[in-house]
Amino acid sequence: MPVTILGATLAVNRLVALGFAATIGILLYLGLTRTRAGTAVRAVAVDPVSAQLVAIDVRATAAIAYALGGALVAAGGVLVSMFLTFNANLGVVFTMKALIVVIMGGVGNMLAASSPG
């Protein structure tokens, strides 16, 4: 069912996917910047040896980060499947887009990677 917003016609399933993706992104950002566990994940990502010196369990934190990454991949796949059909070549398109986002935004800089233009 199409919806017209400011003269542009958009599909509702794309708007729902956008809403979920924005919510997940905001929650992830807040979780990584405002919680103790998020600070531990960022510390382990920057320097695991120093993180261990301040009593952060590096193995457990890395496992949590790995599991969180898997959950994000699963959520992304579900959201993309709402409006695209999957085929064997689909991964190439998203890999190229992700590479461009990482190059433009920088590794580890969530605000720059998510900002437009």
**Averaged pLDDT in 10-residue chunks for the chain of 117 residues:** 83 90 95 94 94 94 94 91 80 81 70 54
Domain co-membership, 81 together with 93: no
Residue 92's pLDDT is what?
Answer: 83
Domain co-membership, 80 together with 47: yes
Domain co-membership, 38 together with 19: yes
Report the b/e string of 21-34 with b at 16+ CB within 10 A.
Answer: eeeeeeeeeeebee
Instruction: Calculate the alpha carbon distances from 47 to 33, 34, 63, 105 in Å.
Output: 17, 19, 16, 21
Domain co-membership, 73 together with 22: yes
Domain that holds residue 95: 87-117
Residue type, 14: R
Domain count, the chain: 2
Whether the predicted model's global pTM rises above the 0.85 cut = no
Domain co-membership, 17 together with 69: yes
